[in-house]
Amino acid sequence: METLGVGVIGFGFIGKVHAYGYQNIPLFYDPPPVKTKLVGVATSREATARKAVEQGGFGFGTSDWRELIERDDIHIINICSPNSQHAEQLLAAMAAGKHIYCDKPLVVGEEDAARVEEALRTYTGIGQMTLQYRFYPATLRAKQLLEEGFVSNVISFRAAYLHSGSVDPDKPMGWKQLKSEGGGVLQDLGSHIVDLMDHLIGPFESALAETRILYPTRPNSQGDIVPVAADDHALMFMKLTNGAVGTIEASKIATGAEDELRFEIHGDRGALRFNLMDPSYLEAYDLRDAETPIGGQRGWKRVATVHRYDKPGGFPGPKFTPGWIRGHMHCLYCFLNAVATNRPAAPSLQRGLEIQRLLAVAAKSAATRTWEKFPERN
């Protein structure tokens, strides 16, 4: 079996998650689609690069991400850097013909999106976005049921991805709270929940959005009080092409929330709902169930999706509760399988651009305070 070298750009939280994935794919998937080796890691400083080598088991570390792309023994570039750096790294990796696994969002801003779109026209590698919430057994099963017509015509929906990390006014800003670096909650959490809902029930036709910054100033990492430009909360009314209207919300000021991604989808034949804080179950309601006598069989049912991945993804077993990182593992497996079989990956880098455009229209709507139409897709 071929061994592919991996270079990881960025080793913060998500970089560690991805390194864990490469190290453990052979345990979760037997056999793995391809063998990988963590050849190199790039971080912003030499000290953090040395620490990343020790923690992640990389062959070497550097503070210059270009060194990874220039090496012949690195075949996969994994981009986990701050959002504003993605475009330059993507363009360089595509020009070098590397396979690319890129954390969301793909880029920040329409100018960078246009540059990446142009480069994708001649890109010959396999590229995939990290949009892991598609890859839990519960969301995989939801997609199957929707494609089978379980809910029939969607008539309403509501979805949210909620954190509470920005409720504290004294919490120092990180790069995700900088408009130029992270793009705010619409880009950070919104990219996940908009992708998931568009994947499940899209395409969307138009949006009416509102965004909010909770506190106009915050301390930065040096303790200076600075203005805040990135949104903490985004609420979107979204219309499907069939006329159904629902809501999608992304927030980092949802007091009491931990990592709460949830959705409800209501159709004229049935309904589905899911909450990431209860990841073992997808809930389903079937209007075709008899409601008499004395209630019949009508009601919400908990489908035990648990850890029921198709082979070869059997570890640790179908009966066990899936952890948060399990969605990441299956997302990465699908990418490596696409590379091994030389087939298009999903969600592709082009899909990353589509999500970027959806979020840009939502941001425009928040600025104009009017309904804005989404661009047509090929």
Provide the residue-wise pLDDT of the chain in tens; the chain has 378 residues: 789 999 999 999 999 999 999 999 999 999 999 999 999 999 999 999 999 999 999 999 999 999 999 999 999 999 999 999 999 999 999 999 999 999 999 998 889 999 999 999 999 999 999 999 999 999 999 999 999 999 999 999 999 999 999 999 988 887 777 766 667 899 999 999 999 999 999 999 999 999 999 998 989 888 889 898 889 999 999 999 999 999 999 999 999 999 999 999 999 999 999 999 999 999 999 999 998 888 888 999 999 999 999 999 888 999 999 999 999 999 999 999 999 999 999 999 999 999 999 999 999 999 999 999 999 877
Residues 158, 264 within the same domain: yes
Residue 376 lies in a domain: no
CA angle 281/282/284 to nearest 5° reads: 135
Are 258 and 152 part of one and the same domain?
yes
Q: Is the pTM of this model over 0.75?
A: yes
Is residue 325, in this structure, part of any structural domain at all? yes
Instruction: Give me the CATH number covering residue 36.
Output: 3.40.50.720
Q: Of the residues 100, 130, 160, which one is the last residue of a structural domain?
A: 130
Same domain assignment for residues 113 and 141: no
Does 375 map to a domain? no
Residues 292 and 180 in one domain: yes
How many structural domains is the chain composed of?
Answer: 2
Pairing, β 372-373 against β 204-212: antiparallel
| Domain co-membership, 101 together with 175 | no
List, in order, residues 6 or more apart from 111 with CB less than 8 Å away.
Answer: none
CATH number at residue 280: 3.30.360.10
The domain boundary residue, chosen from 130, 155, 174: 130
Burial class (CB in 10 A: 0-12, 13-18, 19+), 16: middle
> Do 140 and 104 fall within a single domain?
no
Query: Distance between CA atoms of 49 and 68, rounded to whole angstroms?
Result: 13
Please give the residue range of the domain that contains residue 120. Answer: 3-130
In this structure, the answer to whether residues 114 and 209 fall within a common structural domain is no
Residues 173 and 316 placed together within one structural domain of the fold: yes
Domain presence at residue 37: yes
Residue 350: inside a domain: no
